[in-house]
A and B are shown apart, each in its own frame.
Chain A
């Protein structure tokens, strides 16, 4: 069964510290993985997807199929990074576009 696990409900760091939000998935096929972000009073929006291999707002995420992980990283956290982050899993053809979301991690960046 498809499943996404984000083990941390809350991650609190100081400004300038490195950040790693953990995401592990369970999927027998070839996964497509995403990170979505929800800033305060804003709607949920896509941050990045693994297939793009790009860095958005300084965040990167590498798909590790051996460890079935897709951790989100940023070397130096900023206060404006404070938000709720969701890892999401989708499958390829025939999946009807559905995504399975993790429980979410609240990132709090302290000044």
Chain B
């Protein structure tokens, strides 16, 4: 039982390049989330998926797209990376979609955009 896994762990991009961050969970959770963590800003929600087939914007969605591929997988795509997207990205999942429940986090992806 790996919980929430993320790939890659580290990535360096040049401005304008694109990439997809992968996230998978093996806990049969309905809801999945993507956050970014920046010093002094805490964790900010980028996108979330309350259930398979649905996605919604969070607090800071600009510059990102997501895909809920199936119940296990939720990917985050940067179409044209910008230095402002340098951050640590966390994926999380939770059991229910209609209430605040414990979220389980992945190990994070440290992204640098030069």
Query: Which A residues form the contact surface with B (CB < 8 A)?
Result: 4, 6, 9, 32, 34, 43-46, 49, 86, 89-104
Known: A9-B40, A44-B90, A104-B42. A99 touches B107 (CB 8 A): no
Contact assessment for B42 and A97 in the assembled complex, using a CB-CB cutoff below 8 Å:
no
Confirm or deny: B69 has a beta carbon within 8 angstroms of a beta carbon on chain A. no
Binding site for A on B (CB under 8 A): 4, 31, 33, 35, 40-45, 48, 50, 56, 58-59, 90, 92, 94, 96-108
Q: Are B99 and A97 in contact (CB under 8 A)?
A: yes
Residues of A contacting B: mostly: loop
Q: A43-B108, A44-B90, A45-B105 are in contact. Are A95 and B100 (CB under 8 A)?
A: yes
B99 near A102 with CB under 8 A, answer no
The residue from B50, B92, B106, B108 contacting A96, defined by CB atoms under 8 A apart: B50
